[in-house]
Amino acid sequence: MEWAGKHTDPVVESLNQPDGPVVRRPNNWSLWLLLIPFVATLVPPFYNRVNPTIGGLPFFDWYLLVWVVVTAAILTTVYTLRRPRSGPGENRTGQA
């Protein structure tokens, strides 16, 4: 395969001026939601205990397993919020 060439495509170049117009990226604010799992799981005092247990499983363990599911839900939410609202095409974001 050839090296992908230098910046030769005029259409892309027009989109790509470093200080030029930015393609609109929808709902980047929703990315802040992704900080929630960090806070919930990186601060052990929140869950560093054995009780209450579920079916014998200590709180420490099931709390983290629940957060796996919650994190998947948060990611799905963010994915849905950021999807382009109109326009065809797999990879389009912003104006089509």
Partner 1 sequence: MIATIKASQLAVFAILFGGITVVGFAAARWRRGNLAELTEWGLGGRRFGTFVTWYLLGGDLYTAYTFVAVPALVFGKGAFGLFALPYTIIVFPVIYVVMPKLWQVSRNRGYVTASDFVKERFDSPLLAGLVGITGIVALIPYIALQIYGIEVSIAEMGIPVDASLTVAFVVLVIFTAVSGLRAPTLIAAIKDTLIWITVLVAVIYLPIRLGGYGFIFHHVPAAQLTLPPKLFNGYWTYALGSALFLFLYPHSITGTLSASSKRAVERNAAILPFYSILLGLIALLGYFALAAGIHPSKAYGANSIVPALFEKFFPGPFAGFAFAAISIGALVPAAIMSVSAANVFSRNIWHQYIRPQGSAREEANVAKVVSAIIKFGALAFILAVTTQYVLYFQTAGGAWILQTLPAVFLAVWFGWMDRWATIAGWAVGIGWTTYLLVEEGFKTSTYSFGFLGHLTIFLGLPPLIANLIVAFGGTALLRALGVRRQPSYGPAEFEVDRPAAVAPPS
DSSP state of 54: B
DSSP state of 19: T
Q: Does 46 bind partner 1 (CB under 8 A)?
A: no
Q: Compute the distance between CA of residue 81 and CA of residue 59 in angstroms, rounded to an integer.
A: 32
Map residues 52-71 to x or -, x wherever contact with partner 1 holds by CB under 8 A.
-x-xxxx-xx--xx-xxx-x
Q: Compute the distance between CA of residue 32 and CA of residue 20 in angstroms, rounded to an integer.
A: 26
Largest Cα separation within the chain, whole Å, is: 64
Q: Exactly one of 42, 52, 86, 88 binds partner 1 (CB under 8 A); which one?
A: 42
Which parts of this chain interact with partner 1 (CB under 8 A)?
Answer: 1-4, 7, 9, 11-12, 15-20, 22-23, 25, 31, 34-35, 37-38, 41-45, 48-50, 53, 55-58, 60-61, 64-65, 67-69, 71-72, 74-76, 78-79, 89-94
